[in-house]
Amino acid sequence: MVGTHTVAAGETLSALALRFYADAELHRLIATASGITDPDAIRVGQQLIVPDFTRYTVRAGDTLPGLASRFYDDPSLSPLIATASGMTELEAVDVEQHLIVPDLTRYTVRAGDTLSGLASRFYGDVSFSPLIATVNGIADPDIVDAGTMLTIFVGRSDGFGLTIVDSNEDDPRMWYYRFQTQAIGWNPRVNVLLPDGYRTSGLSYPVLYLFHGGGVDQDFRAFDFLGIRDLTAGKPIIVVMPDGGHAGWYSNPVNSFVGPRNWETFHIAQLLPWMDANFRTFAEYDGRAVSGFSMGGFGALKYTAKYSGHFASVSSHSGPASLRRDFGLVVHWANLSSAAVELGGGTVYGAPFWNQARVTADNPVQRVDSYRNRRIFLVAGTSPSPVDWFDSVNESEVLAGQREFRARLGDAGIPHEAHEVPGGHVFRPEMFTIDLDGIISRLRPAASV
């Protein structure tokens, strides 16, 4: 939800811009979003909207109407860029000039809508309805006609234990955030991949949470390197790809000697509600899916069972589904890998003695009833490289564990889709494409709400 502020005694727009943006010159942005014609005249108790924005450097051939068309799909909104950037509407832009492009969405009024209701929806406070009216030139805030196209200033704000310390929304689709959180001893990051036209569509979308695998080269960028932009092109879904630690195992560990590494808390208690508050999502069971590769595939299965009201679809691409088989090989690997590269000698499940209750709670084959009424998609390789010990042991264990899991699902009468395919422990784009189409078919379709 976009940031808002009520003016206190002694405050100025410049001081507030310095506080919220670390740049006093951005007082014009707050004024533009709040319908203020004189930035030097604000009063105690006045309500302000503090939107997000994009910094844009002018290129040869750019014009204000052209940029408004690019960012908003509406050249008539060029005055918003001009005002926020301290220009006049008719002023020409120069190459290398820096502009401020306010973040906004377009909303088409439907029968029964009121500005008070829309203010509550977008700003969390019905009293912000006069600002919507002012910005959109509506004379009477109590009257708004169905079919009217409104300009609504939006943005991402702190909340749910997350403080944004870095962000980049310049790309049309891939937006980046870095957070400070007490759940993690460093500042974890997330890539949010948006559907084409998100800025201007006004639609709400289903969300896929996509988790990377383990390894010192694995982080929030892993799926970008694997071509996720092309794989999702034209698909009406938001894809959220967070850090999960090099060997975090999507868990709150039994112990850590390098500070907090509570990835389960970060993903479920913080990031998920933050996404629903700051993006146009369906904040409901039928609006979310979870998937992942390797360690991330395990995380997807684990979160689905432990948080039964969160995800309507779960997918595991070469992710382990059985923790105790083969004398607990997966648990031992989770403990060893987390101790080595994640927890400074600490472990996910405890050593030398496991926290047995935690293992059981995380073990998909022991939580079979928790997967009822969900779409389930599983992938495992059948021919890992015989000369690559890691590949062979990893995928052989994945295949055996998924077969055990599938057998228990079958015994319980729970439908599922499973694929055994040639190869070893690798991410398979062709299987992800099949999976993504199934996810979109299962979830609530993108729509205006």
Catalytic annotation, residues: 294, 391, 425
Residues contacting residue 295 through CB under 8 Å, at least 6 positions apart: 211, 212, 213, 214, 218, 244, 247, 248, 249, 250, 319
CA torsion angle 65 71 77 83 (round to 10): -90
Distance from C-alpha of 269 to C-alpha of 294, rounded to nearest angstrom: 23
Paired strand residues for 153? 104
**Which of 238, 442, 217 is closest to 341 using CA atoms?**
217
Token digits of residue 148 = 């009217």
CA torsion angle 435 437 442 445 (round to 10): 140
Distance from C-alpha of 326 to C-alpha of 109, rounded to nearest angstrom: 59
Asked if 209 contacts 272 with a C-beta cutoff of 8 angstroms, the reply is yes
Distance from C-alpha of 86 to C-alpha of 259, rounded to nearest angstrom: 45
**Which of 208, 212, 289 is closest to 250 using CA atoms?**
212
Pairing of strands 47-50, 3-6: antiparallel
- For residue 406, which phi and psi values (nearest 5 degrees)? -65, -40
Asked if 138 contacts 115 with a C-beta cutoff of 8 angstroms, the reply is yes
DSSP sequence for 285-315: GGGEEEEEETHHHHHHHHHHHHSTTT-SEEE
**Residue type, position 416, single letter:** H
Residue at token pair 């970008």: 224
Token digits of residue 405 = 């899991």
A 10 A CB-CB count for 17 gives 21
Asked whether the CA dihedral 62, 64, 65, 67 is positive or negative, the reply is positive
> How long a stretch of residues is the chain?
449
Question: How many angstroms separate the most distant Cα atoms in the chain?
Answer: 75
Asked if 248 contacts 292 with a C-beta cutoff of 8 angstroms, the reply is no
